[in-house]
């Protein structure tokens, strides 16, 4: 059985585990104030070209999202997101639990356009009863999105411009940032992400770490007292060095980018295999998630040997499914799958 179910079925890249073992009996300060966290922060700041950025390590993605959003918004403000945004559908109302509405905009591919966001904001302010409505206070995007799609540099610049004009921070959920940046279809560097957002995070959980996300705050107005918020939401790891060690390792010798590229490469081979076979792709993804539309009979057939996720019923006899590769996916698994796709 080969797993393409999701990008977090294995543990961590072996280099991370090795480092944990090597440092296990060192005695360090707690709560992220150790030398490993500091070293990782420094590497991230350098790669981001953002020497003044604040970098915080949190345990997971939902926690990163809810902590960032609730730290930034005032109580009457909401966060604009695509309908399919992780915060809107798959976090059990974590944002609402901190008191804020997700202002969901429709989206075919998981992306928001600058025009949509601008419209949502101006609609608010043009309404004479705007005090009766939730005020847009932040824009949330993910990159790559939940559908594997990517923002181009131009699209991101346009979003940033709209946000700046409105005085609203732009927050990028980078749970799969590695897979986004490493894609052959991407024209964005990590430093672009840092420059074109106010706060974002670099996903570890889905990209080689045991767990953990690195929140990077570049907008000075959003930095104040952030550590209080981490603690309040239960996200301040006592043995914070565990996160420092992981990110320090990931950002040594470009490991983060290398393993992301590996996953994307395999995913694009799957993409090609599906396309050559004549299958439609439900989303046009050039990253580690691929969403072919398959006849239900073929889905049943593939399930005999492969794990993958059901996505959406398309018609009476077809469904979209999701195949994920990751840093841990073996070439062997991908090749077996490609062969079997060919045989369908």
Give, as ranges, the residues between 6 and 45 that touch its own copies (CB under 8 A).
Answer: 6, 8-12, 14, 17, 20-21, 23-31
Considering only residues 279 to 338 of the shown chain, the ones binding its own copies according to CB under 8 A are 307, 328
Binding of its own copies at residue 54 (CB under 8 A)? no
Considering only residues 254 to 273 of the shown chain, the ones binding its own copies according to CB under 8 A are none
Question: Residue 232, SS3?
Answer: helix
Question: Residue 31, SS3?
Answer: coil
Q: In angstroms, give the least distance from the CB of 237 to its own copies.
A: 6
Q: What backbone torsions phi and psi does residue 326 show, to the nearest 5 degrees?
A: -150, 180
When the beta carbons of 56 and 194 are compared against its own copies, the nearer one is: 56
Whether residue 204 contacts residue 214, with contact meaning beta carbons closer than 8 Å, is answered with yes
When the beta carbons of 156 and 262 are compared against its own copies, the nearer one is: 262
When the beta carbons of 72 and 216 are compared against its own copies, the nearer one is: 72
Q: How many residues bind its own copies (CB under 8 A)?
A: 75
Identify the residue among 48, 50, 67, 334 touching its own copies (CB under 8 A).
67
Q: What backbone torsions phi and psi does residue 188 show, to the nearest 5 degrees?
A: -115, 140
Whether residue 156 contacts residue 188, with contact meaning beta carbons closer than 8 Å, is answered with yes
Q: What backbone torsions phi and psi does residue 201 show, to the nearest 5 degrees?
A: -135, 155
Q: In angstroms, give the least distance from the CB of 84 to its own copies.
A: 13
When the beta carbons of 103 and 194 are compared against its own copies, the nearer one is: 103
Q: In angstroms, give the least distance from the CB of 7 to its own copies.
A: 9
Considering only residues 183 to 242 of the shown chain, the ones binding its own copies according to CB under 8 A are 205-206, 210-211, 225, 227-229, 231-239, 241-242
Considering only residues 134 to 163 of the shown chain, the ones binding its own copies according to CB under 8 A are 134-135
Question: Distance (Å, rounded) from C-alpha 90 to C-alpha 7?
Answer: 16
E strand or H helix that includes residue 165: helix 153-166
Q: In angstroms, give the least distance from the CB of 70 to its own copies.
A: 6
Tell me the per-residue interface mask from 115 to 134 with its own copies, x by CB under 8 A, - otherwise: --------------x-xxxx
Integer-rounded Cα Rg, in Å, for the chain is 20
Residue whose entry in the numeric block shows the structure tokens 């940033």: 160
Question: Distance (Å, rounded) from C-alpha 327 to C-alpha 266?
Answer: 10
CA atoms within 13 A on the CB side of 4: 31
When the beta carbons of 100 and 318 are compared against its own copies, the nearer one is: 100
277 Cβ neighbours under 8 A, 6+ residues apart:
341, 342, 344
Full DSSP string of 257-279: HHHHHHHHHHHHHHHHHHHHTT-
304 Cβ neighbours under 8 A, 6+ residues apart:
none
Q: In angstroms, give the least distance from the CB of 196 to its own copies.
A: 26
Identify the residue among 50, 53, 66, 138 touching its own copies (CB under 8 A).
66
When the beta carbons of 74 and 343 are compared against its own copies, the nearer one is: 74
Identify the residue among 3, 39, 113, 252 touching its own copies (CB under 8 A).
3
Identify the residue among 48, 54, 57, 70 touching its own copies (CB under 8 A).
70
Considering only residues 80 to 119 of the shown chain, the ones binding its own copies according to CB under 8 A are 89-94, 96-102
- Rounded to the nearest 5 percent, the helix, strand and coil shares of the chain are 45, 20, 40
């Amino acid at each position: 059985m080969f797993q393409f179910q999701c990008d977090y079925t294995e543990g961590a890249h072996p280099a991370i585990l090795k480092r944990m073992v090597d440092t296990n009996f060192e005695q360090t300060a707690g709560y992220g104030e150790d030398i490993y966290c500091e070293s990782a922060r420094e590497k991230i700041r350098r790669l981001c070209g953002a020497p003044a950025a604040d970098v915080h390590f949190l345990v997971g993605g939902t926690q990163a999202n809810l902590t960032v959003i609730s730290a930034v918004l005032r109580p009457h403000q909401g966060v604009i997101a695509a309908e399919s945004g992780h915060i809107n559908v798959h976090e059990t109302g974590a944002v609402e639990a901190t008191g804020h509405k997700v202002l969901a905009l429709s989206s075919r591919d998981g992306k928001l356009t600058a025009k949509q966001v601008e419209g949502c904001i101006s609609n608010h302010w043009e309404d004479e009863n705007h005090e009766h409505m939730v005020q847009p206070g932040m824009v949330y995007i993910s990159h790559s999105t939940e559908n594997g799609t990517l923002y181009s540099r131009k699209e991101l610049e346009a979003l940033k411009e709209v946000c700046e004009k409105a005085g609203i921070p732009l927050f990028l959920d980078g749970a799969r940032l590695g897979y986004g940046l490493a894609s052959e279809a991407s024209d964005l560097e990590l430093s672009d992400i840092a420059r074109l957002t106010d706060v974002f995070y670099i996903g570890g959980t889905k990209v080689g770490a045991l767990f953990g996300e690195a929140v990077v705050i570049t907008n000075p107005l959003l930095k104040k007292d952030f550590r209080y918020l981490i603690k309040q939401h239960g996200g301040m790891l006592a043995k914070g060095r565990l996160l420092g060690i992981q990110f320090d390792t990931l950002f040594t010798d470009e490991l983060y980018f290398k393993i992301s590229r590996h996953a994307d490469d395999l995913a694009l081979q799957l993409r090609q295999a599906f396309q050559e076979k004549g299958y439609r792709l439900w989303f046009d993804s050039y990253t580690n998630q691929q969403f072919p539309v398959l006849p239900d009979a073929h889905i049943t057939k593939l399930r005999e040997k492969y794990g993958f996720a059901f996505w959406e019923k398309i018609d009476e006899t077809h469904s979209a499914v999701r195949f994920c590769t990751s840093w841990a996916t073996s070439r062997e698994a991908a090749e077996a799958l490609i062969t079997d796709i060919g045989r369908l």
